[in-house]
Structure 1
Amino acid sequence: MFGTVLVANRGEIACRVIATLQKLGIRSVAVFTDADRAALHVARADSAVRIESYLSLDAVIAAARTAHADAIHPGYGFLSENADLARACEAAGVVFVGPGVKALELMGDKIRAKEHVSAAGVPVIPGSSSTAAEDAGRVGYPLLVKPSAGGGGKGMTVVERPEDLADALAGARRVAAAAFGDDTLLLERLVRVPRHIEVQLLADGFDHVIHLGERECSLQRRHQKVIEEAPSPLLDAATRDRIGAAACEVARSVGYVGAGTVEFLVSDEAPTAFFFMEMNTRLQVEHPVTELVTGLDLVEWQLRIAAGEPLDVQQADVRLTGHAIEARVYAEDPLRDFLPSTGTVRVLDEPSGEGIRVDSSLYAGLEIGSTYDPMLAKVIAWGPDRATALARLDRALAGTTVLGVRTNLAFLRQVLADPDVGAGRLETGLLGRLTPAADVAPIIAAVLARHPAPVGAWGTDGWRLGDPRPVRYEVGDVEVAVLGPPQDATVTVGDDAPVHASLTRTGPTAVALEVDGVVQPLRLVSDGPVTWVGTSELRFRSRVERLTDELAALTRGTGPADPEVRSPMPGIVVSVDVRTGDRVVAGQNLLTIEAMKMEHRVVAPSDGIVTLTVRPTDRVALDHVVATITGHPDEGTPA
């Protein structure tokens, strides 16, 4: 076994690999960029080496030499499927913890992989390696634009009409180049109502290949997995054996060694039919659910196989026990179209208990920037059956608090409560049809925390005779009315029915909110003008601010909206589609901003003349003014 292993990654996966290295008594070496100098994986490793970029082959190899590492574990993403890294490791006398160059090159290129698998008789989805318009027409619309060299849903774009193809190709190329260093694309027919099912493999250097069952990864948003589970609630035992055997055959055909995953699309209407999509020649983000139902440590087996050990597990030994479900916690704002979020973690609570596992790199005080992927942590639950696993995961998410940065925690619980999810009726478009709902509990808690207790006829808002009147608060766009002291108040949120609510402080930042007899533990922190409760960022609007807006609306009348166009998220301007002085129409693309490997197009809110205030490569903050739209000088000024 190795003496020292360098982990060429960051975040929760680096912490995960380091944990197994420590379990095996292997010295761990982390790498970090300036943005990650204070990251948790750096603190947990036995030593750490600074590098310029996680995508720099030369920097990673130099770090391995500096650390006298015997092997490099690439994690997932970054260079994990890069054949050049495997070659560089071989040249440097360092073991690459992953498959050989042949498998990396063939399966890392989605175009060649499909051709290879199709020749072996495995069914594939119609597609083309050419992105020409005529080839797109032959593939057929709607189609999917996919980066050939990557995974994780990055750069994948659905194109419904021929006239949308050019913009989709340009955006996908930018994301692919930034995320994978290769902007090659392929086109693929979009399968309606599909289910995304993948098979986990282990293969040693002695021609021994086994599968560890399948994972259902159909709950996705923008082709990015959000919730995964094992086993799939769709497949029967016979189909599980067939799809597992097909995945093993794919691995054997390229001499695969290590842990890998073969991904399939399965028709919800015909679950016995499956189509090869791609092979991920690395560890998957969702590997914990397989570990929980099989009892195997996949990182440990990666290391043992890379060290030349044979598998001592036979296919007949693999048993899937119980059910496991994983939820990915992202730094994003579901109420703002899931745009990436940045900030500093003020308070952190991570769950524990029977059947609960958390893979995380978070700590209180950690700054979440816009440089890297928005995934913060993974919360995983195991149960003897699917219903128990779902219930445990929901309780675990309810007990997870990340204050200081917006997250998708409330949306994850909303997904788990969906009747189709509970019944196992899953497909890749399901999350796109769910509208994120605002959670009123944090709003009530924030209001009660600052609501005063009146004394006699003299309340804090003045003296009055007769029946008491409610005190009104405006939190963002929501009005809250409170009647009575916070210990025994009647609260109305917007047009909702009145509820009885009270707030009890149980710690410096901990509170217990009771609403109509139901008690919910929450965390509450005030940070300047922002109050963080649960996972929500809340801003109170003063009476002066409300009056100012009302007067402005009266003055503006039916004239145009605010001419300032603001950035919907912090990030970097990657392209500009217009020039200052151009005449634009409402909905026209102005520029594109990238953050956390995601792109967002900023469009004109109205017709007019555009004036840009940013250029490509400029870094912008949330709500930064990127352009203004004014009326044409010959058209006069609206009243």
Structure 2
Amino acid sequence: MVLPPSRERIDTVLIANRGEIAVRIIRTLRRLGIRSVAVYSDADAGARHVREADEAVRLGPAAAAESYLSIERVLAAARRTGAQAIHPGFGFLAENAAFARACADAGIVFIGPDARAIEVMGDKIAARAAVEARGVATVPGLARPGLSDDELVAGAASVGFPVLIKPSAGGGGKGMHVVTQAAQLPDALAAARREAAASFGDDTLFLERYVATPRHIEVQIIADAHGHVVHLGERECSLQRRHQKVIEEAPSPLLSDLAEGAAIRERLGAAACETARSVGYVGAGTVEFIVSADRPEEFFFMEMNTRLQVEHPVTEEITGLDLVALQLLVAAGDPLPFTQDDVALTGHSIEARVYAEDPRSGFLPTGGRVLRVVHPATEDRGGAGGADGVGGRIRVDSALEDGLEVGVDYDPMLAKVISWGPDRATALRRLSAALADTVVLGFETNIEFLRLLLAHPDVAAGALDTGLIARVFDELRFTDASDRVFTEAALVQDAAASAPGLSDPWRRCDGWRLGPPAPRRYTLESGERRGEVRVGGAGDTLRVAVDEGAPAPAAVTTLGDGRALVRIGDVSREVVSAQDGAALWLAAGGVTVCVRERITRAERQADAAASPQAVSPLPGTVVLIPASDGAHVEPGDALVVVEAMKMEHVLRAAVAGTVRIDVAVGDRVARGAVVARVEPD
């Protein structure tokens, strides 16, 4: 969609964000011939969005409060570069009413709604009142400003357990807690207030009844300044963990499978448009509803996100519309170029979010240096945006690249892989194949988890709800290092050690000696799996054996860029690898494994004899120390709370004894750092 002549022409846009969303916005600006300005913190000085923009301005240090969240610095960058408009992306200042107001005061167009709409919809208590006045149903609950913990505890019984604690400000599942019993409520409220204050600067809470088997369905709307409000269909976002969306799709399989689905879709769309009208909304926004899987004709307003959503690509794929271009259009003062009757939904689209996290360790955030990244091939189906934009069978929104440092200062989402198909089954199949071709080496990610989840029978059947991941997680069969993986690791290392150019026979590692080459032995481990691989021969006459197994013929063909074709016996497959010290990361067949040189038995015994320690499983900041130094603790007692990537992680005592605290509130700790020690009784 080309931006037509506008009343308030925008020729330069500053993007007040980073990562994949900044890259995605730059793509549309470039297509429309609009100049782009990136901003960055010191942590992002070499980032992709900085290089791809027409101009880039440094904001400050890595800490978001001193860079991306600094209204003064962002506005100064806009003035310095002559930007007439600012696109906030999602996160950071996107739903900050003070920022929208500051833009207006500075004469800069904020590409989003006005400050009043952000304030009302950003306060979930005020939002409930606004939409109820327009006849939109809300979930029963206890919601009024300034509720104390005592008032929330006293009113919980009237709401009915289980209850959902929700911060009035913010979103993304942060600060939300499901409580099933009254005794759990005080501690959950305290944690929710800390998380809300840390994430949003506002610890106001309220309660809602927790809907059984809930489905999370949201509606994309776009509204102009001339009174036109149009909805662009619904998205299903029920696959969540810790209230954080993982996989989204459009349209909702629930509605698509119902005879009355079209009628419910129209009612949802009408309710979303009424929600937008309740605050005179202008721009792109998303109205989120909670829908009972058992009674889909009943739906309740949950909240409105007054910005572009992470999952907006699936709507773009089924409508053929570029939402960023539409945002620019209405921000410039032009009317929408289509009506509700012009909106057509074609096919099905699914998005998977790639996170820096370890699903097998409770989805703890990871991060580190990206040693190697491989994105799946994109495929154009003749749409408006080309292979990596609107209209692709496979689309990738990403800022990942080799050498990127992924830290804990920002959200752990790395990329989004999006598929389109004429039907849901085809879109699922294409997405799974694309994820199998997605490689991120250097730290754990959720890619294998995403593929396992997509293959689960309930997901394939569209039988979704927000509790599904927690319910089926133990059924998912993650792949551990096999004999094949150990063999590939040994062969890749062997090929590197035997590379041409080492003419000195005393420095070569290919088993050179007078007479036949000696076999090379690789003692390896990955997780709990350990083994020894013997590699004999050279060139095309390699033979390889694991532990005491029989030798098999093997060959390695180096393809470049970390790729190798490895043949073991009669089976060949491509392996992507990268070395990080003693660790070798390998990806093949959609599975990524880290293989290391095996730790000796003496080292293991020394570790076992060490005093029990509380070790931070991720880099982060100490936000709470529930235990007192020198106090007696029992197994399971909370010692230290570390916050990383906007989530709290409680480190607990493993044994009974006297605790020694090694950190203070506010300290930044590295992954693997000892934060407390327990001297056993």
> Could you state the TM-score of these two structures normalised by the residue count of structure 1?
0.90
**Counterpart for residue 258 of structure 2:** none
Q: Note the residue ranges of structure 1 that are not aligned, 5 or more in a row.
A: 463-470, 633-639
2:14 to 6, 25, 34: 6
Give the 5 Å matches for 1:292-311.
Answer: 292-311=317-336
Deviates more, 1:42-51 or 1:380-389: 42-51
1:264 is displaced (CA, Å) by 0.7
1:448-476 deviation digits (Å, cap 9, x = unpaired): 434799999985379xxxxxxxx864333
CA contact (8 A) 2:369 2:443 kept: yes
CA contact (8 A) 1:8 1:72 kept: yes
1:218 is displaced (CA, Å) by 0.6
1:491 is displaced (CA, Å) by 5.4
Give the 5 Å matches for 1:51-90.
Answer: 51=59, 52-90=66-104
**Counterpart for residue 465 of structure 1:** none
Deviates more, 1:533-542 or 1:482-491: 482-491
Cα separation, 1, equivalents of 2:181 and 2:135: 31
Q: Are 1:505 and 2:561 matched, yes or no? A: no
When the two chains are superposed, the root-mean-square deviation of aligned CA atoms in Å is 2.6
Give the 5 Å matches for 1:80-479.
Answer: 80-129=94-143, 130=147, 131=149, 132-235=152-255, 236-354=261-379, 355-432=393-470, 433-435=472-474, 437-440=478-481, 442-450=485-493, 460=519, 473-479=524-530
**Counterpart for residue 570 of structure 1:** 619
1:178 is displaced (CA, Å) by 2.8
CA contact (8 A) 2:655 2:680 kept: no
Cα separation, 1, equivalents of 2:167 and 2:570: 52
1:466-489 deviation digits (Å, cap 9, x = unpaired): xxxxx8643331134658769665
Q: Secondary structure at the match of 1:302?
A: helix
Cα separation, 2, equivalents of 1:165 and 1:552: 39
Counterpart amino acid of 1:542? R
Return closer, same or farther for 1:505/1:615 CA change in 2, 3 Å cut-off. farther
CA contact (8 A) 2:636 2:653 kept: yes
Cα separation, 1, equivalents of 2:603 and 2:42: 43
CA contact (8 A) 1:499 1:515 kept: no
Return closer, same or farther for 1:562/1:338 CA change in 2, 3 Å cut-off. farther
Q: Give percent identity, aligned residues only.
A: 54
Counterpart amino acid of 2:192? A
Cα separation, 2, equivalents of 1:90 and 1:461: 69
Counterpart amino acid of 1:540? R
CA contact (8 A) 1:530 1:537 kept: no
Q: Secondary structure at the match of 2:559?
A: coil
CA contact (8 A) 1:194 1:268 kept: yes
Counterpart amino acid of 1:108? G
1:600 is displaced (CA, Å) by 0.6
Aligned residues: 614
Q: Secondary structure at the match of 2:26?
A: helix
Cα separation, 2, equivalents of 1:26 and 1:401: 33
Return closer, same or farther for 1:406/1:552 CA change in 2, 3 Å cut-off. closer
CA contact (8 A) 1:155 1:173 kept: yes
**Counterpart for residue 594 of structure 2:** 538
Counterpart amino acid of 1:173? R
Cα separation, 1, equivalents of 2:309 and 2:341: 23
2:27 to 11, 19, 25: 19
CA contact (8 A) 1:81 1:282 kept: yes
CA contact (8 A) 2:489 2:595 kept: no
1:232 is displaced (CA, Å) by 0.8
1:264-303 deviation digits (Å, cap 9, x = unpaired): 1111112222111001111000000000110000000000
Cα separation, 1, equivalents of 2:372 and 2:535: 30
Deviates more, 1:93-102 or 1:429-438: 429-438
Cα separation, 2, equivalents of 1:39 and 1:173: 34
> Could you state the TM-score of these two structures normalised by the residue count of structure 2?
0.85
